[in-house]
Structure 1
Amino acid sequence: MKFFTGFLLSMVFLALASCDSGDDAGVPDKGYRYFPLAVGHYQIYDIVEITYTLRDPDTARYELRVETPDSFLNADGDSTYVVYRSKRLPGEVAWTYLDTWSARRTPEELVVQEENIPYVKLRFPPYNGQVWNGNAYNTGERDDYQLDSLGQGQTRGAQHFDDCLTVLQHDNEDFIVFLDQRKEVYAADIGLVYKETTQLSYCTQPGCLAQQLVEQGVIYKQWLKEYGKAE
């Protein structure tokens, strides 16, 4: 009888252990994989940037390297990751340093500090139709970001990504005064794979109103071409 009781307890223990195997067992997917953060990771992008002024538009083409060389703990226990950005023109070998950004992921959101301005890039867990204020931690006006699609495959540039998340940051469709269209695409286990920004101010004088004559602005497109982990 004692042998049977011991055997039964052992089987119960094994059953419970098997149900609890793995760090993420039974835990819903939070969507962190769409912006993985790890020291040593890097991405290289192709950039096309068209700048409009009162003169003819100026088109720049270059490569952008984004790398994460370090991280540090915050007072709340979360980690902030240091992000170095550098660029090079077509045909160049050496990279020229641009600036330093940072990224911080909490259980609820991803905050990226761009030129000392924090933006809430993602909210966790993501779901279709999700809306949040991208300017929640800066002094800008409320700017509602919307999760437009989740888990869909996309082809960007020369690469295809099976599982992507698309965020529409703004889409006012104003072709008379100021056009503001911004979106970012993130791929699972990779991070940002595509970014597009169109911000154009049109002439509003009586002689050119509604003619879509651009006075100033920018069209910016960023495609991922390479990614990995530095050795």
Structure 2
Amino acid sequence: MSSRLYILLLVLLIATGGCRRGTDAPGIPEYDFMPLEAGRYRIYDVQETQYARNTLPLQHSYRLKETVGPAYTDVSGHRAYRLLRYRQTSNSLSWQPDSIWSVRLVNNEVIRTENGRDFVSLLYPVSNGLRWNGNRYNLWQSEEYEARNVGQPFSVSGKEFGETVTVIASNDSTLIGQTKRVDIYAHQIGMIYKERTYLQFCTDTPACLGKNQIEYGIRQIYRIQTYGKE
């Protein structure tokens, strides 16, 4: 065999091996913190507190179930999944339809559509300190999200999840208010904890200014109770 033919065969073998490795590569990121598979569900215990001036806080407790529906092709031509959301105010009552959201993975972005608005909930591959504009598909101002505690354990509702990532969308507190939006995702499970706090403090008199006296607002905390596949 001539040296030229030998080199040609060697190049072909390398090229063939390279294509095979690309085909065999997994189709999901190394850290899959929001698995998209029809039938997966998560049930959360939700504690909601509503605040209004000169009244006692109003507290609500309920359960929220989020089920991944069948895949479909959205208007942009991407594969997406409906998130079927149900609410239950008591364990003895049946689940009632709450809302329908959706989620899709486009390139390295996990895009979650909530009430008609797209948010980049996660960006792969996730790493500590990774930052991105979670609002980049919306018309209003950009909003920086940051990933923290990647791969670290987190306990919620008496359960410990070994590999998680915390996404900080907002955590600001000033003399006039507080805004906090935190999501925690577990590997191969999805969101296990969520906090939403929007508070407006009293500022109309010198006596209340800077005292963190709540004028009005809301705080919601979601804690995963159970999860699985139907």
TM-score (norm 2): 0.86
Cα–Cα, structure 1 residues 214 and 140, in superposed 2: closer, same or farther, change >3 Å? same
Mapped partners of 2:22, 2:130: distance in 1:
32
Aligned length: 218
Q: Secondary structure at the match of 1:34?
A: coil
Cα–Cα, structure 1 residues 75 and 91, in superposed 2: closer, same or farther, change >3 Å? closer
Runs of 4+ in 1 over 6 A off after TM superposition: none
Q: Is the Cα contact below 8 Å between 1:170 and 1:182 reproduced in 2? A: yes
User: 1:6: which partner in 2?
Assistant: none
User: 1:88: which partner in 2?
Assistant: 88
Q: Summarize the alignment of residues 135-174 of structure 1 with structure 2, pairs less than 5 Å apart.
A: 135-174=135-174
Matched, 1:65 2:69: no
Q: Is the Cα contact below 8 Å between 2:179 and 2:197 reproduced in 1? A: yes
Cα–Cα, structure 1 residues 75 and 95, in superposed 2: closer, same or farther, change >3 Å? closer
Matched, 1:24 2:25: yes
Q: Is the Cα contact below 8 Å between 1:30 and 1:126 reproduced in 2? A: no
Q: Is the Cα contact below 8 Å between 2:87 and 2:98 reproduced in 1? A: yes
Matched, 1:129 2:142: no
Mapped partners of 1:156, 1:107: distance in 2:
31
Mapped partners of 1:31, 1:61: distance in 2:
36
Q: CA deviation at 1:77?
A: 4.8
Matched, 1:56 2:56: yes
User: 2:228: which partner in 1?
Assistant: 228
Matched, 1:195 2:177: no
Opposite residue 101 of structure 1, the aligned amino acid is: W
Q: CA deviation at 1:31?
A: 4.4
User: 1:114: which partner in 2?
Assistant: 114
Mapped partners of 1:124, 1:81: distance in 2:
18
Give the fraction of aligned pairs with identical amino acids, expressed as a percent: 28
Q: Is the Cα contact below 8 Å between 1:158 and 1:225 reproduced in 2? A: no
Q: CA deviation at 1:85?
A: 0.7
Q: CA deviation at 1:197?
A: 1.5
User: 1:4: which partner in 2?
Assistant: none
Mapped partners of 1:194, 1:65: distance in 2:
13
**Could you report, residue by residue, the CA deviation over 1:23-44 in whole angstroms, capped at 9, with x for unpaired residues?**
327x9x7345100001111110
**Could you report, residue by residue, the CA deviation over 1:161-185 in whole angstroms, capped at 9, with x for unpaired residues?**
00001101111132x1011111100
**Could you report, residue by residue, the CA deviation over 1:86-127 in whole angstroms, capped at 9, with x for unpaired residues?**
111133330011111010111220111111111110111111
Mapped partners of 2:172, 2:186: distance in 1:
25
Q: Is the Cα contact below 8 Å between 2:73 and 2:79 reproduced in 1? A: yes
